Amino acid sequence: MVKIGVLGLQGAVREHVQAIEACGEEAIIIKSKDQLDEIDGLILPGGESTTMRRLIDQYDFMDKLKHLGELEKPMFGTCAGLILLAKKINGYDETHLGLMDVVVERNSFGRQKESFEADLAILGVADHFNAVFIRAPHILEVGENVEILAKHNGRIVAARDRHILGCSFHPELTDDHSLTQYFINMVKEKINK
């Protein structure tokens, strides 16, 4: 059984915990930076990226999260989590963690009231995945080592940069746990290397 942490500062934490447990693995809600030493992989949930960044700074998580990236510990960012992981945010000078070699556009699918669901084909995951988009970002550009996993209307909405997975939507808000399982498999691959 692997231990998957869910950064528990803000956002859809409980839903990610339920998805991890539905895949038969142990979920740990990360409330202090010392807990990051106990996990095999980390999910950065959807929520509000600016609020999450403020809390990351307030609780002194930044250096430890960047160190996880240096250790190549698998990380999965969903929606706001993707924004936190991105190397560049379009229209902003400052990034957050800067661990994933992508450029993202914030709120690129509209405001809260423009939220929608879409059927996606996700490479290596599912031919039909019901993706929930809520004030979602999308990926504008990817680095040369980044694998594009899914697009919606020509926009990149899921990608993998070696040990880092990111998506624009909220896989934890559906009963389909195949993308969470894909991340768990990434974690197991890393452990077994």
Q: ∠46-49-53 over CA atoms, to 5°?
A: 125
Q: Is the dihedral of CA 26, 31, 33, 35 positive or negative?
A: negative
Is residue 150 classed as helix, strand or coil in its secondary structure? strand
Q: Is the dihedral of CA 40, 8, 49, 159 positive or negative?
A: positive
User: What are the residues whose beta carbons fall under 8 Å from the beta carbon of 45, sequence distance 6 or more?
Assistant: 6, 7, 11, 12, 13, 15, 16, 78, 79, 80, 81, 172
Q: How far apart are CA 137 and CA 127, in angstroms?
A: 22
Gyration radius of the chain over CA positions: 15
DSSP string, 87-147: EEETT-S--SS--EEEEEETTTT-SGGG-EEEEEEETTTEEEEEEEESS--EEEEE-TTEE
Residues serving a catalytic function are: 79, 170, 172
